[in-house]
Amino acid sequence: MMCFRGWCRPAAAWLALAGMTMGAPLLAQADDRDTDAARAALQQQEDDASEERNLEEVFQAAERQYSLLRSGNMALNFSGDYSYYRNDRIDIAIGDNGNVSRFRIENDAEHSFGASLSFDYGIWNNLTFNTRLPVQYKYDTQRDTQQASLGDITFGLRYQPFPVRPGAINTTLYTTLSTATGDSPYTIDPNRDLSSGKGYYSLGGGVSMSKVVDPVVLFGSVGYTMAFDATGLDQKRGQDTLKRVEPGDSISFSMGLAYALSYEVSVSASYQQSYNFVSKFRFVRDDEPFTAKSEDSTSSILNTSLGLRTSSNRIINISFGFGLTEDSPDVLLGISLPIDISGLKPGA
């Protein structure tokens, strides 16, 4: 039995509290086998639509010092997601005399299915390494184009500078390196192919916090992502040739709450927003270089999730979300579940 400010509940109910958000899973481990397996089942979704989401799933445990994986322990999780974009575009052409020669509205929609494996390894009791391997399938209704390929592989570290104490705020520092292993939108044929990655490397970091406030767990995160330039390009876009992309950095924050309805069911809700700074595109036309700039953009997503305990050591999380701005996906669906690798753990 675990108690916080006079509100008592069996430890298994607290283990069902978790939030579904954009970063890598934040997993906890207890001293006995059952609670260790239950914590390994808690995880969160990450979608590429917001681009990279930095909020981590957070909760507290009072029976040990840290809520990350213990040193030498491993966890493997599978997640799948679906996102839908719809956009109405105006296609207009103006002749040299100033007359409009073409004016039409195009309805463009893109369906994106993704699946990923996320692996966590406890370096120390308060330091966890994580890597994520995504695969994406996209279908564009406007161009009747489809493609399946590897996405951008990410590597991350999570560090807890202070032990977890009942009633106190649990703080976790994180950093994430995102590679450019997916098909870049700046190297493919934009008229025929679809990209599965963002086309450049990025390095992000931030802090996530959580606190138990009877009878819920409050959590939040704030982060900054620095984008590296994409160079050595030679992509034809009409009469122009794209030579270099200088993507803008981004700032993100998230907040939410989680509540355990019973031993088998938990619910959570979260809000996340990211602001992307202006990007610059270096072109060449007739051997004359020129620069084009994109507008800054804001992505906002409201997400809800349902956690179902299907066995003593397995929790399946199902999430639903929708975008609140034009730069966000219209619909988001996700599911995540743990994969048992206990036979691969040291000493198993």
Q: List the chain domain ranges.
A: 2-93+110-186+198-224+255-270+304-344
- Digits of tens for pLDDT over the chain (348 positions)? 444 434 444 433 443 343 333 333 333 333 343 333 333 333 333 333 333 333 333 333 333 456 788 899 999 999 999 999 887 665 565 666 666 555 555 666 889 999 999 999 999 999 999 999 999 999 888 778 888 999 999 999 999 999 888 888 999 999 999 999 999 999 998 878 889 999 999 999 999 999 988 788 899 999 999 999 999 999 988 888 999 999 999 999 999 999 988 888 999 999 999 999 999 999 998 889 999 998 889 999 999 999 998 877 778 999 999 999 888 889 999 999 888 766 555 544
Residue 254, classified by CB atoms within 10 Å of its CB into exposed (0-12), middle (13-18) or buried (19+), is buried
Tokens 């990209």 — which residue?
195
Nearest to 201 by CA among 240, 162, 247: 247
Whole-model pTM: value is 0.75
Output the six-digit token pair for 68: 């990350």
